[in-house]
Amino acid sequence: MTDEFRNGCGYRKPADFDSSLVADIINTDITTTAIQKNTTQPVWLTIRIPETQPAGEYRGRLIVKAGKDYELALVVTVVNRTLPAPKDWKFQLDYWQHPAAIARVHGLKLWSQAHFDAMRRYYTMLARAGQKIITAGIVDEPWGIKPMMITPA
């Protein structure tokens, strides 16, 4: 939730929109980041549990380094159930992605091998989370995004 939309899509006169929802960047390369005090920072934490892992409670800790170390208890309860493979899940996960945004965030040349490698990291992570859909923008400059994925000849 934000009270500004910067140069976001569509009409955004601040007097008419006191707040709006915006997506957070999921950056697969960040290992540390500076956070201003009195703010929040979402974190995507992935824990892969092998299908052969016995049921039970597993304890660990997360260390947050912020001038000093803060230790957070982590408890993962593994139950005696196995999820089907993400390709067999019935729900539809659809986090919209735009290849140009990945190139921009990582400072990569659009459609270069490095750009394709960066996209692969994101799309593999999303596939493991159950995403089976890719939304491709094919309309000329929707939401002010340039360049388009598919352009007229």
Kindly state whether residue 99 falls inside one of the protein's structural domains. yes
Q: Which of 90, 83, 95, 102 is nearest to 127 (CA)?
A: 95
Kindly state whether residue 152 falls inside one of the protein's structural domains. no
Kindly state whether residue 6 falls inside one of the protein's structural domains. no
Kindly state whether residue 8 falls inside one of the protein's structural domains. no
Kindly state whether residue 125 falls inside one of the protein's structural domains. yes
**Domains contained in the chain, number:** 1
For 27, the token pair is 């950056």
Write out the chain's pLDDT in tens, 153 residues.
665 555 555 556 666 666 666 666 666 667 777 888 888 777 778 888 998 999 999 999 988 888 899 999 999 999 999 888 888 888 888 887 778 888 888 999 988 999 999 999 988 988 888 888 877 666 655 556 566 666 555
pLDDT confidence of residue 90: 85
Neighbour-count burial of 26, counting CB atoms closer than 10 A to its CB (0-12 exposed, 13-18 middle, 19+ buried): middle
pLDDT confidence of residue 24: 63
Tell me the angle at which helices 113-128 and 99-106 cross, rounded to the nearest 10 degrees: 120
pLDDT in tens, 121-141: 988 988 888 888 877 666 655
Kindly state whether residue 122 falls inside one of the protein's structural domains. yes
Kindly state whether residue 3 falls inside one of the protein's structural domains. no
Distance CA 142, CA 8 (A): 11
pLDDT confidence of residue 118: 92
**Which three-class secondary structure state does DSSP give residue 74?**
strand
Kindly state whether residue 139 falls inside one of the protein's structural domains. yes
Task: State which residues form the domain around 33.
Answer: 14-144
Distance CA 79, CA 73 (A): 19
